[in-house]
Structure 1
Amino acid sequence: MKVLFICTGNTCRSPMAEALLKHKRPQWKVKSAGIFAADGSLASEQARRVLEEGNIPIDHISQSISKELVHWADIILTMTASHEHMLVSQFPESTAKTYVFKRYVTGNLADVQDPFGGSLEDYRGTYNELEQLIDQFIESLPNELE
């Protein structure tokens, strides 16, 4: 299973989701990227701190979405509906495997909270939201994908 998480800058939400899923399913291949990411940045300090609090290792360098990443992924999970729209507009071949993460897992049309520029508590809220979504994502998959 190859999972690609997408957010805006690839420094907050998608790196946290990537680290969480890698921790929970180390046998899976997991990456993240951003629609408007600057290549080569670390995950934000607050994202790294909340992952540390949960004993989740992170080794992350930001990257922007690319044709190679789109082709690599079995499934692409975006943090917002606008990310999904931009990704599918830029890479129409991704349409059949691109989903808004929260909608895919819960049916809820809301976006994953963006903690960028917020407090450590905001990052903890996003971390908790992502952890619940990842647990539900894992549970929703057929056993043969485990």
Structure 2
Amino acid sequence: MTRVLMVCEGNICRSPVARALLERALPLVSVSSAGTRALVGRHADPMAIQVAREHGMDISGHVATALNHKHVLGAELILSMTQTQQALIVATYPFARGKVFRIGAYDRVDIVDPYQRHRAAFELAFAQIEQGVSNWRDAIAKLTV
């Protein structure tokens, strides 16, 4: 079974949604999430919960966790939301080089950070993450043999 780690900053908006989307797309894959500057102990943002719920996913039980050595070591694939986060992960955990990618790499986009913004930002982030998961789905599925 493949272990995928989704990473954003606060771990309350983008990476919980990315986790839920990938779990739905590939139920046999173990997916976790963390934040580079996590709001540790906080639940997912209410707007992220609402947008996810409208797309048939429940992330209300999510609790933010900070990215750490154990997360990075245990993941076979790490998908960050931005190029900056990708670079930070590799700089902090050099052994992760080669398994850290941006979820929007196929489309050459960073996922917009909707934190403390209007609903439209959450909807845009959701759409970008959904596209990113769709782009990565087949590659990840091949690893789950």
Confirm or deny a common fold (TM above 0.5): yes
Question: What is the distance in 2 between the residues matched to 1:14 and 1:51?
Answer: 12
Q: Kindly state the Cα deviation for residue 122 of structure 1 after the two structures are TM-superposed.
A: 1.4
1:54-90 CA distance string (max 9 Å, x none) = 1112231101111100111000011111101111111
Say if 2:2 is the partner of 1:4. no
Change (3 A) 1:81 1:74: same
TM-score (norm 2): 0.91
TM-score (norm 1): 0.91
Change (3 A) 1:18 1:141: closer
Say if 2:138 is the partner of 1:145. no
> Unaligned regions of 5+ residues in structure 2, if any?
none
Name the counterpart of 1:20.
21
Name the counterpart of 1:83.
85
Question: What is the distance in 2 between the residues matched to 1:119 and 1:76?
Answer: 28
Q: CA RMSD in A?
A: 1.5
* Number of aligned residue pairs: 143
Q: SS at 2:95's partner residue?
A: helix
AA at the equivalent of 2:102: V
> Does the aligned pair in 2 maintain the 1:23–1:57 contact within 8 Å?
no
Name the counterpart of 2:67.
65
Sequence identity (%):
28
Q: Kindly state the Cα deviation for residue 142 of structure 1 after the two structures are TM-superposed.
A: 5.7
> Unaligned regions of 5+ residues in structure 1, if any?
none
AA at the equivalent of 1:90: T
AA at the equivalent of 2:129: L
